[in-house]
Structure 1
């Protein structure tokens, strides 16, 4: 059980930091093609491709 937690906890922390970073970036910058909520959902669902698409396509 402890071995599983040692693997899961860092993954959950990285995922949380990823979402916080993209939430703040989407909130503070202009976006194109979709609304800010849609871009956040894309980043939320498709890790890490959603973030890559946002940086190359969705960010002004």
Structure 2
């Protein structure tokens, strides 16, 4: 497969998170990791799984 954009990948590997949870050690300096007091750990994990699944579907 040739691409007009030399830096565009021809394929992407995505791994769905099966045991996702925020890491308190890295959350201190990582704006993308935050805890949400309104969501349980199971709800956060499910949201992460659903988000990766949605992105994978859009890439197909």
Determine if the TM-score, normalized by the shorter chain, exceeds 0.5: no
1 or 2 for the larger relative contact order (CA 8 Å, sep ≥6)? Answer: 2
Give TM-score scaled by structure 2 length: 0.35
More helix by share: 1
Give TM-score scaled by structure 1 length: 0.35
